[in-house]
Amino acid sequence: MSESEIIKVYQEGIQSVISLVQGLSTQISELSQTVSDLDARLKKLEKQSNQTSQNSSLPPSTDGFKKTKSLRQPSNKKTGGQVGHQGSTLKMVKDPDLVVTHHPKTCQGCGCCLENVEPQKTIRRQVFDLPSLRLQVTEHQSQIKVCPNCHFKNEGLFPKHVTQPTQYGPHLTSVLTYFSHYQLIPFNRLKQLTQDIFKATISQGTLVNMTKRCDELLETTEASIKENLLASNHLHVDETGCYVNGKRHWLHVTSNQKFTHYFVHEKRGSQAIEANGILPSFKGTVIHDHWTPYFKYDDCTHALCNVHHLREFKGII
């Protein structure tokens, strides 16, 4: 207000002054509350902007290109192998697969022939290497024989896994499936690897079919893993993002010291946990990162991951 406006209110009497002061007091109170709200919001935003995988439950993927730092504290031990550590030195084997003998044919001193001279000593050196990697083609032939007595036509039985005129065998199938689903090599790179190493041209569709066949054969194995996890005293559960055909999915992991079960689902929360079917039936102690949907299951005991505790403490500090 200008000076003239204040004088005018004063001249109007005490009631006008009271009304003015009360109005200003209300405005000051509202402004004070607004400032307080904005300050709280600013602190919240600052806290969020300062959160990383090191001081909160955020995954490392949210850190971008920031250099991460381990929570592990440095020890006073020297670098390298510690006292009492058992190494894994390459040792000679008793029965090598192949022995190549190198013997001198003539004496380097006088030129005498040494072909029939018995060696005084043999020095051994062993090289551990892969054999030449190439596909071995096995042809299976089923013979048809007619019984001379009853004239019944008898046909030799092919092995169960031999179903086509030409096909890839179970060993190559298992190796490529391992590369794809454990070493996480994409199909396009796996096609190139097969061409470079095994000299075989293989299609992406064939790799998909190999995966399907292995999936069918591993159904009993998966059931056994689930049974062992449900029978254990404690479980570790977690979930991490992944992509299926370019769409965001979640890889749900359930494990103990001996067994690990992986389950991919398009959802992260309760819907996926129910579809997985392990946690809803578990009665022991489940250790997790306090992801809210886990607390829905109260037939088990909940224990929170100490790594996440340390991160939260660091964030508070």
310 is a domain residue: yes
**Residue finishing a domain among 156, 186, 217:** 217
Same domain, 250 and 183: no
User: What's residue 71's pLDDT?
Assistant: 65
Same domain, 307 and 242: yes
Same domain, 210 and 236: no
Same domain, 179 and 254: no
Same domain, 257 and 300: yes
What pTM value is reported for the model? 0.63
Same domain, 193 and 234: no
75 is a domain residue: no
User: What's residue 301's pLDDT?
Assistant: 95
User: What's residue 247's pLDDT?
Assistant: 92
Same domain, 208 and 229: no
190 is a domain residue: yes
Same domain, 316 and 235: yes
pLDDT digits (tens, 9 = 90+) for 277-311: 999 999 999 999 888 999 999 999 999 988 888 88
Same domain, 259 and 311: yes
Q: How many domains does the chain have?
A: 2
- Tokens standing for residue 259: 């067994």
70 is a domain residue: no
199 is a domain residue: yes
User: What's residue 175's pLDDT?
Assistant: 94
pLDDT digits (tens, 9 = 90+) for 265-285: 999 999 999 999 999 999 999
CATH number (domain holding residue 240):
3.30.420.10
The whole-angstrom separation of Cα 137 and Cα 157 is: 19
Same domain, 209 and 283: no
Low-confidence ranges of the chain (pLDDT < 50): none
**Residue finishing a domain among 217, 246, 278:** 217
309 is a domain residue: yes
Contact 313, 304 (CB under 8 A): no
Same domain, 231 and 203: no
276 is a domain residue: yes
**Residue finishing a domain among 147, 182, 217:** 217
Same domain, 316 and 241: yes
Give the structural domain span for 258. Answer: 225-317
13 is a domain residue: no
